[in-house]
Structure formats: structure tokens, C-alpha cells
């Protein structure tokens, strides 16, 4: 069902969500994820439209559009922040990892073996990429 909904969404939006899922290290099918996000955003937007209309006498469509944009944009923002956090961690730990790889290569290991041996669990996401 979510794949059918995501087929109506522009490809550049799907690609943007796919990139953010990849950067965040989340292994999900982007079509199903984006379809779910838009259905969830639609449901949240309806609730926001009714709530803003009831409590603040704002027009329903203003609340609907605001709720939809905030929901979908908020999820995209959270994905973006997760990817940035991962990137900051890798940038922080990269000099130590490179030093360890270089010392392993100086000790006589081949490049592939030095990369494999250097993938320590404390390197987190970088260890996965090194393997």
C-alpha cells in the first residue's frame, strides 16, 4: 500500500529521503518509508486542522497544510540530524583509525588486512564501513 502512495510522490523527494536514510544508517526501503511518512503526515494534518479550527478558529486548510509540512519536514529533519551526528562521530574518530591503519601497514600487513584488523568496535559506524 505504501509503495503505491509513494509512486505519486516526486522522485526528487524520494531520492532526498533515500539519501538521508542512507546517511543515518537506517536500512529501510525508501518507498515504503516515504509512503508511511506521507500517510502519517496526512493523518496528523487532519487532526491538526480540526484542532486548530476548534481551539483557535483558524481555517481547516491552514491547519492541515501546517500540520502536514511540520510532520513530514520534522521527520526529514530528524533523519538529517541522525546522519549529521553519525558524520560528526566518524570525523572525530577518523584520525585515530587512520593512525591505526598506518601502523598496521608499517608492521607488514597488506592494505586489506590492515583495514580489517583496524575495524574496532569503538569506532562504531566507521568499523562497519571498514569491514
Does 126 or 65 have the greater pLDDT score? 65
Predicted structure pTM score:
0.83
* Predicted local confidence at residue 118, as pLDDT: 85
C-beta neighbour count of 125 within 10 angstroms:
15
Domain boundaries, the chain: 2-130
* Predicted local confidence at residue 50, as pLDDT: 94
* Predicted local confidence at residue 125, as pLDDT: 83
Q: What is the mean pLDDT of residues 54-78?
A: 95
* Predicted local confidence at residue 115, as pLDDT: 87
Q: What is the pLDDT of residues 71-116, one digit of tens each?
A: 999 999 999 999 999 999 999 999 999 999 999 999 999 988 988 8
Burial class (CB in 10 A: 0-12, 13-18, 19+), 96: middle
Distance CA 99, CA 113 (A): 15
Amino acid at each position: 500500500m505504501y509503495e503505491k502512495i509513494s509512486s505519486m510522490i516526486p522522485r526528487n523527494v524520494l531520492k532526498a529521503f533515500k539519501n538521508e536514510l542512507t546517511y543515518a544508517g537506517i536500512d529501510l526501503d525508501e518507498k515504503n518509508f516515504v509512503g508511511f511518512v506521507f500517510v502519517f503526515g496526512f493523518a496528523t494534518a487532519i487532526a491538526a486542522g480540526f484542532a486548530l479550527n476548534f481551539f483557535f478558529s483558524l481555517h481547516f486548510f491552514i491547519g492541515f497544510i501546517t500540520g502536514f509540512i511540520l510532520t513530514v519536514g520534522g521527520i526529514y529533519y530528524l533523519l538529517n540530524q541522525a546522519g549529521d551526528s553519525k558524520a560528526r562521530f566518524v570525523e572525530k574518530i577518523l584520525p585515530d583509525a587512520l593512525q591505526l591503519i598506518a601502523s598496521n601497514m608499517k608492521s607488514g600487513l597488506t592494505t586489506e588486512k590492515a583495514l580489517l584488523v583496524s575495524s574496532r568496535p569503538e569506532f562504531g559506524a566507521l568499523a562497519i564501513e571498514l569491514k
